A and B are shown apart, each in its own frame.
Chain A
Amino acid sequence: MALVEVDKATKRYGSLTVLNGLSLDIEAHQVVCLIGPSGCGKSTLLRCINRLETIQDGEIRLHGDRITGPGVDLDLLRREVGIVFQGYNLFPHMSVLENITLGPLKVLGMPRAEARDKAMSLLARIGLAHKAGEYPDRLSGGQQQRVAIVRALMMDPALLLLDEITSALDPELVSEVLDIVRDLARNGMTMVLATHEMGFAREVADKVCFLHAGVVHEEGPPSQIFGDPQDERTRAFLKSIIDAGRL
């Protein structure tokens, strides 16, 4: 049984159908990369998985338990499924340490000292221990994004959703964020990435999914999707990426 099973999920905004019976399995300890042109529904899919959006049809299961439908404890779900957005969304009125210990303190009821130790050890791992007392607006974009990832990790999620976490960053800051993701992948963290970083997807993904017309149009290991795409659309998309010099 996969960690998450998306089963014929349909999501509409008014008359616009964004997900059209999309199915996708996310195995534990795997990294799944979602690729596809802008507007194809990558963010929407991620937001549906942790119920920031509600699908109209189909179902999504976590640990085999249906998490769509009424009466699901959303707070519990979001502890289990963390998400990091493109715009880091750190709380500007809190220091780095306060930002990342907020969840453990207020939601998990972790003792302050323990939360602090955990936060400091995670910060040390990403090389930002000396920034613990800083406020977000005094950090670079890359540093803010790394803190945002740590903030999600503090809750010990079973699954981490990463939505184009590097696309707001300067090129030289991208690698420092990707290093963390790589490190997490090596340690068996289950992750779903919506990304335009094809090179990175190729390197880190266990499975790459090409989204088109509201479904997973083609999926497979990166070597196949990038090396030998079967589908016309996938090829066209990858060609446009290569032409833009991004692969």
Chain B
Amino acid sequence: MNKPAVMANRERADLWHARSKVRAHSVQTWASLSIATLTCVAVVLSAYSIARYAIAQGWDRLPVWIGAGVFMTVAVLVAASAARALQLSKHAQLARDVYDGRALGARASEQSWRAISYSGALVILCIFAWFMVVNDAAVSRTFFDVDLIARSAGTVLKAFGTNFFIFTVSAFLILIWALVIAIARTLPGKAGRPIRMLAIIYSDLFRGLPAIITIYLIGFGLPLTNLPILKDLSSSAYAIIALTLTYGAYTSEVYRAGIESIHPSQIAAARSLGLSYSKTMRYVIVPQAVRGIIPPLMNNCISLQKDTALVAIIGTIDAFNQSKIIASNNFNLSAVTTVAIIFILLTIPQARLVDRLIERDRNKRRSG
């Protein structure tokens, strides 16, 4: 039916051979060589002048020159590899054997892309380094006073215990509380309606409220109510309550999305075995749902960890508050940088873990 597709075979073969020539990627390798060369020049000049500046500021000569030397060497190596790519591309053009030519071309392309991406990274590092030293190193003095960072680390780390406590307790409570809300929101039928409505109102309310306001209202409000027990909890406890309420609303949505992502036929299959609604949930739906929701749960977890710093507004002496005190005593923000570093060091492994989990899930689906 498709006449053009049935072009004479001979003709097709000729067309194929005409088209599938060796690709030497010469434009790309030239571009990569120019980029890498420019980068190399920029890096060498920057590393040299920044090193000179650092030494003038009283840094030790040896480590500074070693650091600068490493950068320069990398830049030169990248430029060399771009040159090598160009050479490969020339060889590919001249190769007498088409297969050798293709292999050389593929290597040239690969190597030139690598040179380009390394150059990009070097340029970004260079810009960052300049940002740190311009204006008489204003940026690094303000944020990265190494001495103050080192001195404040102990105190700040101790105060971080409060953040950790708040985080752990509320994470635990949130996981349970959110599941309760999620199940309440998915209760079936007319009978479940009032509970469902309450759960919806709750999630709408606490997802709408900024966490900082919830913390403020609870932290300053509850003590004023004179309610027994609730009025004289510690400020950490108020923080835990506020964060649990806020994150419970978010996390219940994660659970709910997980539950609803399971195909309805699974519920039908379980119910047709005679399992009750709750048994269906318990043995069939929730175990399947959990797999898909672990990455978003971990994301919530990371975000909760960071939001423990919000408790500073109700006067809890957490790491952030502590560092602010140190910062104002020293007229320098580097103590706050210490907290920032602690938070970052803590979240990076978790972020990588989330990536791994997502990747694993993708692989499963691909082979499945």
Q: A residues within 8 Å of B by Cβ?
A: 3, 28-29, 62-66, 69-73, 76-77, 80, 122, 125, 153, 156-158, 180, 183-184, 187-189
Known: A65-B17, A70-B103, A158-B5. 10 other contacts (CB 8 A): A63-B17, A65-B20, A70-B106, A71-B105, A73-B23, A80-B16, A187-B1, A187-B3, A188-B6, A189-B5
Query: Closest approach, in angstroms, between the C-beta of A118 and any C-beta of chain B?
Result: 9
Q: Are B2 and A187 in contact (CB under 8 A)?
A: yes
B107 within 8 A of A: yes
Across the interface, B99 reaches (CB within 8 A) one of A3, A69, A188, namely A69
With A183-B1, A189-B6 as known contacts, state yes or no: A63 contacts B107, CB within 8 Å.
no
With A28-B9, A63-B16, A63-B17 as known contacts, state yes or no: A125 contacts B107, CB within 8 Å.
no
Q: B residues within 8 Å of A by Cβ?
A: 1-7, 9, 12-13, 16-17, 19-20, 22-23, 92, 98-99, 101-107
Query: Closest approach, in angstroms, between the C-beta of A28 and any C-beta of chain B?
Result: 4
With A70-B106, A158-B16 as known contacts, state yes or no: A3 contacts B9, CB within 8 Å.
yes
Q: Are B5 and A76 in contact (CB under 8 A)?
A: no
Interface of chain B, helix or strand or loop or mixed? helix
Q: Are B23 and A64 in contact (CB under 8 A)?
A: no
- CA of A156 to CA of B19, assembled, Å: 15
Q: Are A64 and B1 in contact (CB under 8 A)?
A: no
A-B contact count (CB 8 A): 67
- CA of A223 to CA of B3, assembled, Å: 29
- CA of A125 to CA of B92, assembled, Å: 46
The interface residues of chain A lying within 8 Å CB-to-CB of B17 are 63, 65
The interface residues of chain A lying within 8 Å CB-to-CB of B99 are 66, 69
The interface residues of chain B lying within 8 Å CB-to-CB of A72 are 20, 102
The interface residues of chain A lying within 8 Å CB-to-CB of B102 are 69-72
Query: Closest approach, in angstroms, between the C-beta of B148 and any C-beta of chain A?
Result: 53
The interface residues of chain B lying within 8 Å CB-to-CB of A156 are 2, 4-5, 7
With A125-B1, A156-B4, A187-B6 as known contacts, state yes or no: A73 contacts B12, CB within 8 Å.
no
- CA of A63 to CA of B2, assembled, Å: 21
Across the interface, B6 reaches (CB within 8 A) one of A3, A29, A64, namely A29
Query: Closest approach, in angstroms, between the C-beta of A217 and any C-beta of chain B?
Result: 26
Q: Are B2 and A189 in contact (CB under 8 A)?
A: yes
The interface residues of chain A lying within 8 Å CB-to-CB of B13 are 63-64
With A63-B16, A65-B16, A189-B6 as known contacts, state yes or no: A71 contacts B1, CB within 8 Å.
no
Q: Name 7 interchain pairs, CB-CB below 8 A, sorted by A.
A: A3-B9, A29-B9, A64-B13, A69-B102, A71-B92, A71-B102, A158-B12
The interface residues of chain B lying within 8 Å CB-to-CB of A187 are 1-3, 5-6
Q: Are B2 and A184 in contact (CB under 8 A)?
A: yes
Query: Closest approach, in angstroms, between the C-beta of A95 and any C-beta of chain B?
Result: 21
- CA of A157 to CA of B102, assembled, Å: 23
Query: Closest approach, in angstroms, between the C-beta of A86 and any C-beta of chain B?
Result: 14
Ranked 4 nearest A-B pairs via Cβ: A71-B102, A71-B106, A70-B106, A28-B9
- CA of A158 to CA of B11, assembled, Å: 11
Q: Are A71 and B19 in contact (CB under 8 A)?
A: no
With A63-B16, A71-B22, A73-B23 as known contacts, state yes or no: A157 contacts B105, CB within 8 Å.
no
The interface residues of chain A lying within 8 Å CB-to-CB of B7 are 156
The interface residues of chain B lying within 8 Å CB-to-CB of A29 are 6, 9
The interface residues of chain A lying within 8 Å CB-to-CB of B23 are 71, 73
Q: Are B103 and A69 in contact (CB under 8 A)?
A: yes
The interface residues of chain A lying within 8 Å CB-to-CB of B4 are 156
Smallest Cβ-Cβ distance to B367: which chain A residue: A13
The interface residues of chain B lying within 8 Å CB-to-CB of A80 are 16
- CA of A3 to CA of B11, assembled, Å: 12
With A29-B9, A64-B13 as known contacts, state yes or no: A153 contacts B2, CB within 8 Å.
yes
Smallest Cβ-Cβ distance to B5: which chain A residue: A156
- CA of A70 to CA of B106, assembled, Å: 6
- CA of A125 to CA of B2, assembled, Å: 9
Between B3, B13, B92, the greatest number of chain A beta carbons within 10 A of the residue's beta carbon is seen for B13
Smallest Cβ-Cβ distance to B101: which chain A residue: A71
The interface residues of chain B lying within 8 Å CB-to-CB of A70 are 102-103, 106-107
The interface residues of chain B lying within 8 Å CB-to-CB of A71 are 22-23, 92, 101-106
Q: Are B12 and A63 in contact (CB under 8 A)?
A: yes
The interface residues of chain B lying within 8 Å CB-to-CB of A125 are 1
The interface residues of chain B lying within 8 Å CB-to-CB of A183 are 1
- CA of A189 to CA of B6, assembled, Å: 6
- CA of A156 to CA of B1, assembled, Å: 12
